[in-house]
Amino acid sequence: MLCRSLRYFRYRLFRWTLTGICCSLTLLFLVSRGKSPVNQYRNLELVEEDPRYYVNCTGIINGDEETVILAKLQTLSIVYKKRPVLSEKDYIDFSKHCSNFTKVQRYITFPLSKEEEEFPIAYSVVIHHRIDMFEKLLRTIYAPQNVYCIHVDKKSPEIFLNAARSIASCFDNVFIASQLENVTYASWSRVQADVNCMKDLLQRNLTWKYLINLCGMDFPLKTNLEMVEKLKALKGANSLETEKTSPHKEKRWKHSYKVVNGKIKDTDINKEAPPIESPMFSGGAYFVASRNFVEYLFKSPKILRFIEWEKDTYSPDEHMWATLQRMPDVPGSVPVNNKFDISDMNSLARLVKWSYLEGDISKGAPYPPCTGVHIRSVCVFGAGDLKWMLQQHHLFANKFDTAVDGIALQCLEEHLRHKAMYNLLNYT
């Protein structure tokens, strides 16, 4: 497998080096004749990952049923399933030579517009496995003016952490969180991972405007410029799911929970009421938050008391952020009145398909059936989901998995790169 991976890298490096030389000569020729250097973007266009796996991404993005079926059949083939997948060691070895790494992987190392350069975005990315998917996500959202905090689960193998460190070392604006947590599903540790990155991001960079938190199975639906435009339109407001708590979820914060043998357990002990005047709300783990919102969390004694109170609740990320967003003193928040409730479909933060809500849109379903598979009722997207997804306003979608449908990610990445490179003038 390692030999195949190295041959694959050499093939891509040789092919892309030739492409880069040709594009660079073209650029020099245009500049010498006083023409616009727009063609430098060609050197950043993604090249087909492997010629053995041809995919008609244009047809998939347009929702052509025959193309989607053919792509699905390809993902089921033994040849496709056994395609080379880069390991942690591959990334460690390859990223030792950062200039080659960023070139071969097609990172965008200069701002694509003045608007983007003047509106940096911060990211908190929590990961624990699948280094190849993390690197693909980073490559797609990377811009030199942004800043990226990567939190690696303490339970992850050392080689995974080393691979993440090695990749991050190739960029001045990408770093591993200064404090790593042993993350347990539905426990406070998941929130603490984001909190650790929040503190690091505030200390490391003084210019970012908004914070977006991600996990390793997220992927963007918008280019960086499109995100900047949507974030600017918020005018300092936050965007996240926040709705009235249903009775069956109240136990999550009315009882005290603790982690036992790596799993969260209900102690059946009633907690004191939350130390806030506003009511509790339910939402999701992901948010789009202004810098003022993040700074306020660590300045307000009232908020700090509330955060401390949240630490022994069940799945605090699914009610803490939602509740903070309804507190009147919090920057960018909205009033507690139910007219201001925001569902996951209305917020910008994350597009998710739940199996029990899928159906016929013409008959009132919020989204069509998943074309991939379901894990814990959440759709792991397939290529057939892309056309509908790209029509939505969300900045990111969850979940993707190259082991389920690598073509979905391949085509989405190609679509976003092409849009960023060749349709730039449409967004400026």
pLDDT of residue 38: 42
Q: Is residue 382 part of a domain?
A: no
pLDDT of residue 48: 52
Overall domain count for the chain? 1
Regions of the chain short of the pLDDT cut 70: 1-43, 45-53, 423-428
pLDDT of residue 407: 96
Q: Is residue 331 part of a domain?
A: yes
pLDDT of residue 423: 60
pLDDT of residue 205: 87
Q: Is residue 413 part of a domain?
A: no
pLDDT of residue 5: 44
One DSSP character per residue, 34-71 reads: T--GGGGGGGGSPPPS-TTS---HHHHHTT-HHHHHHH
Q: Which of 227-236's residues contact partners 24+ apart within 8 Å by CB, and which partners?
A: 227/121, 227/395, 228/115, 228/116, 228/119, 228/121, 229/115, 229/427, 230/348, 230/393, 230/395, 231/119, 231/121, 231/288, 232/119, 234/210, 234/288, 234/290, 234/332, 234/348, 236/290, 236/292, 236/331, 236/332
Strand extents, DSSP E, 223-272: 239-244, 255-260, 263-270
Q: Is residue 72 part of a domain?
A: no
Q: Summarize the chain as % helix, strand, coil (round to 5).
A: 45, 15, 35
Q: Is residue 215 part of a domain?
A: no
Range of the domain at 245: 239-340
Q: Is residue 172 part of a domain?
A: no
Classify residue 232 by its DSSP letter.
Answer: H
Model confidence over 170-202: pLDDT tens digits? Answer: 999 999 999 999 999 999 999 999 999 999 999
pLDDT of residue 79: 86
Which of 266-298 are b and which e, b meaning 16 or more Cβ less than 10 Å from the residue's Cβ?
Answer: eeeeeeeebebebebbbbbbbbbbbbebbebbe
Catalytic residues: 318
Q: Is residue 181 part of a domain?
A: no
Q: In whole angstroms, what is the distance from residue 382 CA to residue 175 CA?
A: 31
Q: Is residue 221 part of a domain?
A: no
pLDDT of residue 26: 34
